[in-house]
Amino acid sequence: GAVVSQHPSRVICKSGTSVKIECRSLDFQATTMFWYRQFPKQSLMLMATSNEGSKATYEQGVEKDKFLINHASLTLSTLTVTSAHPEDSSFYICSAGQSATNEKLFFGSGTQLSVL
Amino acid sequence: KQEVTQIPAALSVPEGENLVLNCSFTDSAIYNLQWFRQDPGKGLTSLLLIQSSQREQTSGRLNASLDKSSGRSTLYIAASQPGDSATYLCAVGNQAGTALIFGKGTTLSVSS
């Protein structure tokens, strides 16, 4: 099946710093990528939809200036958590569709962010 | 707004038991439904994908059914093993090309 690579898998940073998470589709082109966040014992919550070459669409309640998403190519989307704070500590995971209909979505392995 | 609910939240069974995990969704006009497995601190492993026109899908000891009209899906695990211990997530796709909407999951523990 299709592979989505996500890095880093784990990051610990100080409060106030910025953290970049990369999501790559290794063997297919992904027109659309999705970014989710998961707090402990909670469901995956959609943060934003990332479309190649255009601005991301953010879900209600997600600060677009804090969570910067760039989808500059068909195989790479990045999520930057700017000026991270302890409440941003969470599990972030991306997904990508293999076709325009996104019949099946493939997921990265996730990034555990801990902000001290 | 689509909402996905999974029951039970947690389940503990002895090895060898057959079990059923339940998923319900509020809007029956779905495009597809997927079951995933998530191990602690890890990403998602896709188990089964059911298109809206399908009634069930099978893979090894796993069988997932879909009843769109009642807004329900079940994941049946036969002859459970300790290695099946994980959180099982149900996710619904409302339309082609849109993100999946997830339930909170059922955490399964299979004891040997």
pLDDT of residue A28: 85
C-alpha R_g of chain B: 13
Return the number of other C-beta atoms located less than 10 Å from residue B44's C-beta: 26
Which DSSP symbol is given to B84?
G
Q: Which of A3-12, A49-58, B100-109 has the lowest mean pLDDT?
A: A49-58
**Which residue shows structure tokens 């211990």?**
B85
pLDDT of residue B39: 92
A90 at the B interface (CB within 8 A)? no
B40 at the A interface (CB within 8 A)? no
Nearest to B43 among A93, A102, A104 (CB): A93
pLDDT of residue A100: 57
Q: Distance between CA B112 and CA B110 in Å, rounded?
A: 7
Q: What percent of chain B has pLDDT over 90?
A: 88
Q: What DSSP string runs through A46-81?
A: EEEEEETTSPPEEPTT--TTTEEEEEEETTEEEEEE
- Residue A100's region, left for phi above 0, alpha for psi from -120 to 50, else beta, is alpha
Kindly state the average pLDDT of the residues A35-57. Answer: 91
Q: Let me know: does A53 contact A71? Beta carbons within 8 Å.
A: yes
pLDDT top residue among A73 and A22: A22
- Alpha-carbon distance A102 to nearest alpha carbon in chain B (angstroms): 5
For the segment B4-51, what is each residue's pLDDT rounded down to a tens digit? 999 999 999 999 999 999 999 999 999 999 999 999 888 899 999 999
**Dihedral (Cα; B82, B84, B87, B93), 10-degree rounding:** -170
Kindly state the average pLDDT of the residues A28-44. Answer: 90
**Nearest C-alpha in A relative to B98:** A102
Please answer yes or no on whether A104 and B44 come within 8 Å at the CB atom: no
Q: Distance between CA A17 and CA A84 in Å, rounded?
A: 6
pLDDT top residue among A90 and A54: A90
